Amino acid sequence: MEWPSSLDEYEKLVIRMNTPRVVIDNAVCANATLVKVDSARKHGILLEAVQVLTDLNLCIKKAYISSDGRWFMDVFHVTDQNGEKLTDESVISYIEQSLGTCNSVTSNGFKDLTALELTGTDRPGLLSEVFAVLAELQCNVVDAKVWTHNGRIASLIYVKDCNSGFPIEDTQKINRIEGRLRNVLKGDNDIRSAKTAVSMAVTHTERRLHQMMFADRDYERRSRTESATPSPSVTVQNWAERGYSVVNVQCKDRSKLLFDIVCTLTDMEYVVFHGTLDTTGNQAYQEFYIRHNDGSPISSEAEKQRVIQCLQAAIERRTSEGVRLELRTVDRWGLLSDVTRTFRENGLNVTRAEISTTRNMAVNVFYVTDAAGQPVDPKIIEAVRERIGFSDLKVKESSSVCHKEGARNETTATTVAGTGGAVLLSLGSLVRRNLYNLGLIRSYS
C-alpha cells in the first residue's frame, strides 16, 4: 500500500487498525462461499457489509455476527443467484475492495441524475398518472423503484431532462415538477400526507425507500387484507442479565431479507452486537442481540411493539403479491407513461416496480394485481401483452433460486408453536455458543 508522504507512523498505524480485514474462503463450506469481515466497530458497519453483498444480488444463507468492545466480526455464507459458490474473480475482488475500505457505501451510480422522492396514498392508476406528468414535463425516467405497503406508496425516481440529457437544475422547472406530482399524489383523499422532494444527492435507493416509508409511518396503518402470505413472526424479549434486547424473526426466505432487517434496526438507532441467520428450505430464522446507541436495551412494552411493527413492515414492503411482468424493449420518451396507462385501462394495479435502462434498452419489472388487490385474470394479462407486444412484455415467476439450495443447509434451530398458530423461533443457543467461544459468558447450556 502506498502511503501519502504527509502521514507519520502513528497515523499509518491508526489506519491499519481501523481498516476492515476481509477474507473470502471457498474451501471451508461445501455449498457456500464464506465472507469474513473483521473491523473496528462503528454505527452502521454491519449494514455497510450486508449492503455490499446484497447489491451484488448474492444470497446470504447463514450469518454470524459478533462485536466485543471496539471490534466487530462477521461471517457470511453466500451463494450467487444460482445457489453456487462465488468463482468470478471480478466479483470476489469487488467484495474485497468494497468491504476493505472505511468509507460508507451509499452510491447507486446516479450522480448525473435528478432524484424525485414521492410518498402518498396508493390507489389504482396512480403510477400511470405520475409517469404521464413526467413525460409531459419532458423528464426522461432512467431508473426508478416503487414500493407499496399498507395502502401507502413510496417511490424514488431518477430522471434527466429529455432535451439536454443532463440533470434538471432549473429552479422553476423543479418547482413545477414538484407541484404537479404533489397534486397527483394528493388526489381527493391525501391532502395532508402526500409529499414530494427533489434532490441531487447521491443515495442508496432501497435504504432511502425504507426511510421514506418509515417516516410515512406505514407500519401503523394495519389495513392488511386476506393474503396467502402470512405476516412475519417477530418477537422481542429482554435478556436482563446481559443488558440486551433479543429480537427473533421467522419468515419466508427471500433475496435481500437480511438487508431489510438490518437497515431498519440501524435507522431506528439500534446497534446489533450479536446475531445469527440460518435458512432451511425456504424459511429464514434470524436472531439479534441489540441495544440503543447509548448502550441501553428496549425499555417499555410500547417500544417492543413498535420494533415488531417496524420489522414486519420492513419485510413486507419488498414482498409483492401478484403477477410479475418483465418489459424489455428499446427505450424511448414516454414509454413508461404508455405502458402504465395500458395497465390502468385494463384494470391492473402496480404493487411494486423496478425501472432501469442500459444504454438504449429499457428493462422494467412490474408486479400487478387487479384493482381490488386480487389475482389477475390470465385473459387480461394476455390482452395487455398483445397491446404492448408479446415479445416485449413477458410473464415471469418470482425468483426462487436463492431457496433451492436451502434444503441442503444444516439446521440447528428449533421451532415452537405459539399463540394463534404462530411459530416462535429461538436461535439463542447458537448465539450463546458464539458468546461463550468469545469468552463473553461463562456457559451456554
Structure confidence by residue, pLDDT tens digits, 220-256: 865 555 455 678 999 999 998 999 999 999 999 999 9
pLDDT band at 67 (very low <50, low <70, confident <90, very high): confident
Whose grid coordinates read 446481559? Answer: 242
Residue 174 belongs to some domain of the structure: yes
What's the number of domains the chain is made of?
2
Q: How far is CA 344 from CA 147, 208, 349, 371, in A?
A: 17, 27, 7, 9
DSSP H or E stretch at residue 92: helix 89-99
Residues 326 and 311 in one domain: no
Does residue 411 surpass a pLDDT of 80? no
pTM of the entire structure? 0.85
Q: Which of 33-47, 253-267, 340-354, 373-387 has the lowest mean pLDDT?
A: 33-47
Residue 54, judged by CB atoms within 10 A of its CB (0-12, 13-18, 19+), counts as buried
Residues 336 and 211 in one domain: yes
Q: How far is CA 410 from CA 24, 274, 283, 383, 427, in A?
A: 21, 21, 13, 46, 14
Which of 377-396 are b and which e, b meaning 16 or more Cβ less than 10 Å from the residue's Cβ?
eeebbeebbeebeeebbeee
Cα separation, 189 vs 34, whole angstroms: 50
Residue 35 belongs to some domain of the structure: yes
Residues 311 and 325 in one domain: no
CATH of the domain at 169: 3.30.70.260
Residues 129 and 199 in one domain: yes
Residues 202 and 58 in one domain: no
Q: Which of 148-162, 305-319, 418-432 has the lowest mean pLDDT?
A: 418-432
- In this structure, the dihedral spanned by the alpha carbons of residues 190, 320, 84 and 32, taken in order and rounded to 10 degrees, is 70
Helix, strand, coil % in the chain, rounded to nearest 5: 30, 30, 35
Which of 56-88 are b and which e, b meaning 16 or more Cβ less than 10 Å from the residue's Cβ?
bebbbbbbbbbbeeeebbbbbbbbbeebebbee
Helix (H, G, I), strand (E, B) or coil at 220: helix
Cα separation, 42 vs 180, whole angstroms: 42
Residue 77 belongs to some domain of the structure: yes
Residues 50 and 89 in one domain: yes
Q: Which amino acid is at 197?
A: A
- In this structure, the dihedral spanned by the alpha carbons of residues 433, 435, 437 and 442, taken in order and rounded to 10 degrees, is -90
Does residue 433 surpass a pLDDT of 60? no
Residue 442 belongs to some domain of the structure: no
Domain range for 156 is: 114-222+320-396
Residues 119 and 213 in one domain: yes
% of the chain residues with pLDDT over 70: 80
pLDDT top residue among 419 and 300? 300
Does residue 415 surpass a pLDDT of 60? no
Residues 385 and 413 in one domain: no
Report pLDDT for 106.
52
Residues 24 and 63 in one domain: yes
Residues 328 and 214 in one domain: yes
Residue 387 belongs to some domain of the structure: yes
Residues 216 and 362 in one domain: yes
Local structure of residue 28 (DSSP, 8 states): S
Task: List pLDDT tens digits, range 182-197.
Answer: 999 987 776 567 899 9
Task: List pLDDT tens digits, range 288-334.
Answer: 999 999 999 999 999 999 999 999 999 999 987 799 999 999 999 99
Residues 56 and 120 in one domain: no
Residue 230 · residue 316 · CB < 8 Å? no
Residue 1 belongs to some domain of the structure: no
Residue 444 belongs to some domain of the structure: no
pLDDT band at 6 (very low <50, low <70, confident <90, very high): low
